[in-house]
Chains A and B, each alone.
Chain A
Amino acid sequence: MDGPRIEVAGLTKRYGDVLAVDAVSFTAEPGRVTGFLGPNGAGKTTTLRSALGLIAPTAGAITFSGRRFSQLPRPAAVVGAHLEPAFHPGRTGRDHLRTLAPLAGVPDSRCDEVLAMVGLADAAGRRVGGYSLGMRQRLGLATALLGDPAALVLDEPANGLDPAGITWMRAFVRSFAARGGTVLLSSHLLAEVEQTVDDVVVIARGRIRHASPLADLHALASPETVLRSPDEAGLRRLVSRWPDALMEDSVTAVIPGTTAAEVGAAAHAAQLEVHGLTERGESLERVFLRMTEEAA
């Protein structure tokens, strides 16, 4: 599979006075899974819908190996998208796909193929109105796969999936990228996609806050020190010198951005009775939260 390079360049979308997306630029590379992360309302969906020609951006462009979505001769064969699990409840899963097969330019047999790929073969003849949310997410993915695309754009694909479904989705997306495909997926939870993505793009309040391989995000995790003491008053007095410090409970303080050596020396100087002194890395989720909150 030869996945296209998805390039977002200077994308801006203004709704009246509200700047929903502000000069957003990033790329999603073939053979990799790119996580597009940010809190709800950050501009993720607007960006993805702009990429797919559903929203007309105020400025900027999104291209798939140099071509805009509207310029693709058979878009379903280049990029498959799953934006939300929206279906006519009275149609069966197979019929839903059959209504799209002529547009995707594929034979009807492909409908059953993709249903089998997402594990819905048994439910193909049932009306979608009776599907669970997890089954709808799978049908949405089947819809995205219908035209045998080399890129997948998925908006919050893990929403509504149970843990087994998330594991399945993760494996599916990983193998798609391993075969050379391009995957761009959004999520409002880093933890949900931490084991899925290769690259992360963090957006908050319409602006890109960070873009790097996932591994580089670890480097941004600053250390923090946990200090335990039975002397609550003394502990509070000591940690008050670090404005970011917070008390986890009456005997435990967490001091971000410090090392054990630093805090240990200070405790010693203050003659505080110490029952525990641990240095630990900040969790990626905290790094992510910090990035999105800094924007606020």
Chain B
Amino acid sequence: MIASIRAELRKATTTRLWWILLILMIGTIAFFAGTFALALTFGDTGTGPDGQALTIAPKDMAITVYTLGVSLGYAFPLAFGAILMTGEFRHRTLATTLLAQPSRGRLVLGKLAAALPFAGLYGAASAATAVAVGAAALGLAGEPTMLDDADVLRSIGLSIVAMAAWMLVGVGFGSVITNQVAAIVTVLGWTQLVEPILRLALGFWEPAAPIARFLPGAAGEALAGGSFYSTTGLSDLLPAWAGLLVLLGYGAVAAGIGWLTTLRRDVT
């Protein structure tokens, strides 16, 4: 098992993908953290579904900005985790790996374990970027940075866990959709389009609203304790612990499906 983890760590570090995606993620989060902080402080926050003006407390605003990676940047750890698996199919290296180590279960576990340090790295980089840029922007706008608030610090810490969990979900997802292009298109389509629309739509339709809390993106935000959607009153979130369970549940179910389908298939 240790050999499998070492092999997978080497696979991940010997291509350029890990740092390219990391830089793209940092750039994206920096952009959103800066613009959101300024937009929320200077801009008109609009009205909620009940027509009342939205007001945001400084603490909620800080949490929303500092955990923006979890709201808007989770496609990056998700995609990286997925590519760890789909790359074996894309470049047809799966056979070579299995020739040296024939257990397919060990292969998946090795990839999950090897993803952990990257998951921590992406999580830490995401939080650090959002806090650094967000705090600077809030300070610029004359708002309190709230970095001495225990709840804010807790949310920042949990946002690291949430981003890390997203990468594990990605590994599971990549074992189900092994076509790399299809996997990336699905990741982008779901995270950037389908889930945001679903959450807004479900938020406006009372009976379905609770379902929105169980969507993966909402679960990730629940873990970090803040979200643009909940802060603006558009939808509710689960408790943090439940968010983590739901998120990891998605990853476990995906990995389980992959185990039963992809990894039992013939490698031709």
Q: In the complex, what residue of chain B is closest to A79 when comparing beta carbons? A: B99
Complex Cα–Cα for A52 and B2 (A):
23
Q: Bound state CA distance, A98 and B91, in angstroms?
A: 17
Closest Cβ–Cβ distance, residue B49 to chain A (whole Å): 48
A45 CA / B96 CA spacing, docked (Å): 15
Which residues of A are at the interface with B, using a C-beta cutoff of 8 A? 45-46, 49, 52-56, 69-70, 75-76, 81, 83-84, 86-92, 95-96, 98-105, 143, 146-147
B2 → chain A, closest Cβ, in Å?
8
A84 with B92: CB separation less than 8 A: yes
- A45 contact set on B, CB distance < 8 A: 268
Which 8 residue pairs spanning A and B have beta carbons closest together? A86-B92, A103-B100, A95-B14, A54-B267, A102-B6, A102-B3, A55-B266, A103-B101
Contacts of B11 in A (CB 8 A): 88, 99
- The residues of B with any CB-CB pair to A shorter than 8 Å are 2-4, 6-7, 10-11, 14-17, 87, 91-93, 95-102, 266-268
Check A49–B91 contact: CB distance below 8 A. Answer: no
Say which residue of B4, B87, B266 sits within 8 Å of A88 (CB atoms).
B87
Interface contact B95-A100, CB-CB below 8 Å:
no
B-chain residues with CB within 8 Å of residue A89 when the two chains form the complex: 91
Look across to chain A and name the residue whose beta carbon is closest to the beta carbon of B87. A88
User: B102 contacts which chain A residues (CB < 8 A)?
Assistant: 53, 69-70, 75
Least distance between A95 CB and chain B CB atoms (Å): 4
Chain B interface mostly: helix
Q: How far is the CB of A280 from chain B (nearest CB, A)?
A: 42
Are B7's CB and A102's CB within 8 A? yes
Q: Which residue of the partner chain, among A46, A87, A90, A99, contacts B10 with CB atoms under 8 Å?
A: A99
Report the separation of the CA atoms of residues A50 and B40 in the bound assembly, to the nearest whole angstrom: 61
Contact at B100–A147, with CB atoms within 8 Å? Answer: yes
Instruction: Given the known inter-chain contacts A49-B268, A69-B102, A99-B11, please indicate yes or no for A105 contacting B95, CB distance below 8 A.
Output: no
Contact B95 A86 (CB under 8 A): yes
Chain A nearest Cβ from B118, distance in angstroms: 15
Task: Give 27 pairs: A residue, B residue, CB < 8 Å, sorted on A.
Answer: A49-B95, A49-B266, A54-B98, A55-B266, A55-B267, A56-B266, A75-B100, A75-B102, A76-B99, A83-B95, A83-B96, A84-B95, A86-B93, A87-B91, A87-B93, A90-B17, A92-B14, A95-B14, A96-B14, A99-B11, A102-B4, A102-B7, A102-B10, A103-B7, A103-B101, A105-B3, A146-B100
Complex-state Cα separation, A92 to B97, whole angstroms:
16
Q: How far is the CB of A74 from chain B (nearest CB, A)?
A: 9
Partner of B96, one of A49, A75, A86, A98: A86
> Is there an interface contact between A100 and B267, defined as CB atoms closer than 8 Å?
no
The CA of A196 and the CA of B46, in the complex, are separated in Å by: 79
Query: CA–CA, A21 to B82, complex, Å?
Result: 34
* Nearest neighbor of A92 in chain B, beta-carbon distance: B14
**B100 and A98: CB pair below 8 A?**
no
| 16 further contact pairs, Cβ within 8 A, besides A70-B102, A95-B14 | A52-B95, A52-B99, A56-B266, A86-B95, A87-B91, A89-B91, A90-B17, A92-B14, A99-B10, A100-B96, A101-B7, A102-B2, A103-B4, A103-B97, A103-B101, A146-B100
Which residue on chain B has the smallest CB distance to residue A94? B14
- Compute how far the CA of A54 lies from the CA of B94 in the bound complex, rounded to whole angstroms: 9
Interfacial chain A residues near B17, Cβ < 8 Å: 90
Q: Determine if A86 and B10 form an interchain contact, defined as CB atoms under 8 angstroms apart.
A: no
Closest chain A residue, CB of each to CB of B98? A54
Of all chain B residues, the one with the shortest Cβ separation from A96 is B14
